Amino acid sequence: MNAIIISIGNELTSGQTIDSNSAYLSEQLGSLGIETLSHVTVGDDRAATARAIIAAAGEAQLVLVTGGLGPTADDLTRHALADAMGGVELVQDAASLAELEDFFRRRGRSMVDANRIQAMFPAGSRPIANACGTAAGIAARVGGATVYVMPGVPSEMRRMFAERIAPELPSGRVAIVRRTLCTFGAGESDVGARIDDLMARGANPLVGTTVDAGLISIRVASRAATPDEAARQADATIAEIARRLGDLVVGQGEHAMSAAVGMELRRRGQSLATAESCTGGLIGGMITDVAGASDYYLGGVVSYANSVKRDLLAVGQDILAANGAVSEPVARAMAEGCRRRFGADWAVSATGIAGPSGGSNDMEKPVGLVYIGLCGPGCEEVHRHVLPGDRSGIRTRAALTALNHLRLGLRMRLRTRC
Amino acid sequence: MNAIIISIGNELTSGQTIDSNSAYLSEQLGSLGIETLSHVTVGDDRAATARAIIAAAGEAQLVLVTGGLGPTADDLTRHALADAMGGVELVQDAASLAELEDFFRRRGRSMVDANRIQAMFPAGSRPIANACGTAAGIAARVGGATVYVMPGVPSEMRRMFAERIAPELPSGRVAIVRRTLCTFGAGESDVGARIDDLMARGANPLVGTTVDAGLISIRVASRAATPDEAARQADATIAEIARRLGDLVVGQGEHAMSAAVGMELRRRGQSLATAESCTGGLIGGMITDVAGASDYYLGGVVSYANSVKRDLLAVGQDILAANGAVSEPVARAMAEGCRRRFGADWAVSATGIAGPSGGSNDMEKPVGLVYIGLCGPGCEEVHRHVLPGDRSGIRTRAALTALNHLRLGLRMRLRTRC
């Protein structure tokens, strides 16, 4: 089975509200084995809504519509649905009207006339009760498709879908299981080249990549007759990708980078401290995104001013004067000073130019230049990067790059004191 | 002029990613007086993308497409555009290829063959340079419509639209100007109750609110015949809202909280340091989101372990032992110790329980409990909060709450040393 999702509302087409309903419904449908072909958003416009419903019903077997069921003049979805059903009339549903009146009575309010429209439904359709609001949903047939209309308020929509609509849907003959593997340290094209054969169009599992601040997510969607079989296929593909990409693979799930660093530290019973300049605290922030980080993370110094690099991290004034704050020797001294100050097994440092200004004209020190220092048992490294993006992108990438060097350092080094 | 926006990606139709690009572009188009008729989202499917482009070009004068310009096998938008243009060939653009090679050379990496596709464009189209990535955009004509294709990475898309595409668009007959005022420190319903009369449906300017991690954004959209008139109306409404909400108003624009704190510090020529426990660096990270923060921000200590609170912030072991790390005395001592250690005019501290575990059973110290310490000229405060949300929400709210107390402390205190 396949589906098209339609969202209605001027607040969506004007960009004042981001549509989260369609993504929610797509995910829910996917778990039922129903593939979403497309999302369509139109404004509070009767003709445009009717056209969108008719077009969707011609293309998909299931059409889910959200929004435009309110009591005010710009709520036109029930009229548009009636148009799409071939121009049927709206007729009052006595049970829905009683429920509406009851809804207001329970809240000690009297129902205004405007709400009566919420008990009117296209002839031949079926009302769907709303457990937490006045906007009942509607089930109907348009052409060969089943159409469900739900309120646009996310909480009402989600409850109606879960309790009233999902149970009516045929559980697809196909189960879909999704996995996402997170990689860092190579370009999207490098990653793509190594798994090119797995990314063929129409393949099963279907493999795709997306990139955000240097983190490349490899998404795997597996289809099979049963959830178990789909999961088995997905895991086999994930394992094959992981085998090919080796150390580029950070892990799965949210906060994959911080979780990977934490797992390696916990496994070794080692501790970590951070020394941050251009990242201003983002590295510490990422590390502590993961619950239980206090098992290995001692803390850090944000040494934004040079005086702090000197006083708290013992970076020599001569090193600062000779090389500038954004330099290999300073990154090294920050990491070393931090490790010593905190008595940590590992320390990682970042110093760079986040921009938009502060870069040198000769491109020797451009905006985006970042040095990452790493210091740990048997390990002393400094890495130079010129990172792309705006201030925010450079800072996020710098923090992720620091954590990635730490992750690789942890994986490669033996447990010996340096 | 009117427009249709098309987003491409399986991560969107599967619901794994929420599409924020379309809302951004709609808002930008609105400010140019261009109405968005609809948003359409399709998966990484060449035929479906081509059909969507052709259908949109038949309905709207302007078609904006995002996504599918990457170097991997699932990036098919350039092929789909060529199909929509009547089946033209992809041809190599020498200048784009040179830019791509330069992009990799500047980063000290060699370009892999897969990236060459990013220098290929449908015959008769025009490349649009990408200032911060490898995916150049494309401008083309399909039927009577102008089509622009942009990368799906939001930061790259936004910059390309603002710098390269918006300047090419005709401005419409109705100007729409939007402003967003950011408030903090009261609930959405409290804020709404004070500006209820301004939020009438269909009003001009149209006023709406959205909330994220305790930051309430009040959105004002003003329509008028000219941009100047629309801006004048919007500013008058913003001024009225600001008058009613007083100190709840943080400011306008991105990073409003950090910018407000920075402005107050800069105005006074005073400096700031941070002492963070549960926030792990997020406060420092937010402060340094704003370019030029080095004018007032010296740095901070992330004192995740108690030993760090003791050794770097001089929090007495007796205070820690008697009260626990999450307590009013510790928050106070962290701020005081931080201020002294950094020689800063102001110091702000945060210590709390971000969860999901770590709260006490008797609810004396529940998950979400956060103490904010503030210390500055004529100022010594500790504030207790129990913040809602999951770990991530509590941490973000805690950091914003700390900055908000600092903002209010700065606004209320005279310039006297305590």
Q: Mind giving me the DSSP string for B367-402?
A: TTEEEEEEEETTEEEEEEEE--SSHHHHHHHHHHHH
Check: CB of residue B347 under 8 Å from CB of residue B376.
Answer: yes
Rounded Cα distance between A113 and A93, Å, is: 15
Q: Give the residue ranges of DSSP H helices in A130-253.
A: 154-160, 188-194, 227-245
Comparing CA positions, the residue from B263, B264, B243 lying closest to residue B414 is: B264
Residue type, position B293, single letter: A
Closest-CA distance, B129 to chain A, in angstroms, reads: 14
Check: CB of residue B303 under 8 Å from CB of residue B277.
Answer: yes
Mean pLDDT computed over A115-136: 92
Least confident of A363-372, B83-92, B361-370: B361-370
Of B13, B287, B357, the CB nearest to A37: B13
Q: Is the pLDDT of residue B136 over 90?
A: yes
| Strand partners of residue A139 | A126, A148
Rounded Cα distance between B156 and B160, Å, is: 6
Mean pLDDT computed over A327-355: 97
Best mutation target among B4, B6, B16 (most A Cβ atoms within 10 Å) is B16
Rounded Cα distance between A222 and A233, Å, is: 6
Contacts of A15 in chain B (CB under 8 A): 22-30, 36
Mean pLDDT computed over B72-88: 95
Which residue in A has a C-alpha nearest to residue B303's C-alpha? A299
Check: CB of residue B218 under 8 Å from CB of residue B209.
Answer: yes
Q: For the segment A245-294, what is each residue's pLDDT rounded down to a tens digit?
A: 999 999 998 899 999 999 999 999 999 999 999 999 999 999 999 999 99
Taking CB atoms and an 8 Å limit, are A16 and B221 in contact across chains?
A: yes
Q: Is the pLDDT of residue A415 over 60?
A: no
Mean pLDDT computed over A343-347: 98
Best mutation target among A177, A197, A302 (most B Cβ atoms within 10 Å) is A302
B288 in contact with A, Cβ within 8 Å? yes
Q: Is the pLDDT of residue A173 over 80?
A: no
Residue matched to tokens 């926006």 = B5
Of A13, A178, A206, the CB nearest to B38: A13
Taking CB atoms and an 8 Å limit, are B288 and A307 in contact across chains?
A: no
Q: Which residue has the higher pLDDT, B109 or B241?
A: B241
Q: Is the pLDDT of residue B416 over 60?
A: no
Band of the pLDDT at A104, cuts 50, 70, 90? confident
Q: Is the pLDDT of residue B140 over 60?
A: yes
Which residues are CB-neighbours of B278 under 8 A, at least 6 positions away? A288, B326, B350, B351, B352, B353, B354, B370, B394, B395, B398
Residue A418 has what pLDDT? 40
Taking CB atoms and an 8 Å limit, are B13 and A36 in contact across chains?
A: yes
Residue B172 has what pLDDT? 63
Q: What is the mean pLDDT of chain B?
A: 92
B223 in contact with A, Cβ within 8 Å? no
Taking CB atoms and an 8 Å limit, are A48 and B70 in contact across chains?
A: no
Band of the pLDDT at B360, cuts 50, 70, 90? confident
Q: Within a 13 Å sphere around the CA of B163, how many CA atoms are in the beta-carbon half?
A: 12
Check: CB of residue A29 under 8 Å from CB of residue A3.
Answer: yes
Contacts of A37 in chain B (CB under 8 A): 13, 42-43, 48
Taking CB atoms and an 8 Å limit, are A389 and B132 in contact across chains?
A: yes
B97 in contact with A, Cβ within 8 Å? no
Closest-CA distance, B381 to chain A, in angstroms, reads: 23
Rg of the Cα trace of chain A?
28
Count of CB contacts below 8 A, A vs B? Answer: 318
Q: Give the residue ranges of DSSP H helices in A60-153.
A: 77-84, 94-106
Mean pLDDT computed over B140-165: 95
- Cβ count within 10 A of residue B356: 12
Q: Which two tokens stand for residue B348?
A: 């702000």
Closest-CA distance, B186 to chain A, in angstroms, reads: 21
Helix (DSSP H) and strand (DSSP E) numbers for chain A: 14, 17
Residue type, position B189, single letter: S
Rounded Cα distance between B197 and A104, Å, is: 23
Q: Which two tokens stand for residue A346?
A: 């590992």
Band of the pLDDT at B417, cuts 50, 70, 90? very low
Contacts of B50 in chain A (CB under 8 A): none
Which residues are CB-neighbours of B303 under 8 A, at least 6 positions away? A299, B275, B276, B277, B309, B312, B313, B315, B334
Q: Which two tokens stand for residue A245?
A: 């990409």
Contacts of A389 in chain B (CB under 8 A): 132, 155
Q: For the segment B157-198, what is each residue's pLDDT rounded down to a tens digit?
A: 999 999 999 989 886 667 778 888 999 988 777 788 888 888
Residue A109 has what pLDDT? 75
Of B11, B46, B357, the CB nearest to A210: B11
For B317, counting Cβ atoms within 10 Å of its Cβ (0-12 exposed, 13-18 middle, 19+ buried), the class is: exposed
Which residue in A has a C-alpha nearest to residue B395's C-alpha? A289
- Listing DSSP states for B298-359 in one string gives EEEEEE-SHHHHHHHH---HHHHHHH-SSSHHHHHHHHHHHHHHHT-SEEEEEEE--SSS--
Which residue in B has a C-alpha nearest to residue A297's C-alpha? B304
Band of the pLDDT at B288, cuts 50, 70, 90? very high
What is the bridge-based pairing of β-strands B175-184 and B126-128? unpaired
For chain B, report the end-to-end CA distance as a whole number of angstroms: 60
Comparing CA positions, the residue from A57, A72, A63 lying closest to residue A22 is: A63
Rounded Cα distance between A178 and A228, Å, is: 12
For chain A, report the end-to-end CA distance as a whole number of angstroms: 60
CA B306 to chain centre: 33
Give the global pTM.
0.79
Rounded Cα distance between B69 and A58, Å, is: 29
Taking CB atoms and an 8 Å limit, are B312 and A23 in contact across chains?
A: no
A294 in contact with B, Cβ within 8 Å? yes
A102 in contact with B, Cβ within 8 Å? no
Taking CB atoms and an 8 Å limit, are B308 and A291 in contact across chains?
A: no
Q: Is the pLDDT of residue B114 over 60?
A: yes
Residue type, position A382, single letter: V
Taking CB atoms and an 8 Å limit, are A388 and B297 in contact across chains?
A: no
Which residue in A has a C-alpha nearest to residue B221's C-alpha? A16
Best mutation target among B100, B304, B338, B370 (most A Cβ atoms within 10 Å) is B304
Residue A416 has what pLDDT? 41
Q: Is the pLDDT of residue A42 over 70?
A: yes
Which residue in A has a C-alpha nearest to residue B342's C-alpha? A308
Rounded Cα distance between A385 and A405, Å, is: 12
Helix (DSSP H) and strand (DSSP E) numbers for chain B: 14, 17
Rounded Cα distance between A312 and A342, Å, is: 10
Which residue in B has a C-alpha nearest to residue A274's C-alpha? B302
Q: For the segment A175-214, what is each residue's pLDDT rounded down to a tens digit?
A: 788 889 999 998 888 898 899 899 877 789 988 888 888 8
Mean pLDDT computed over A101-112: 81
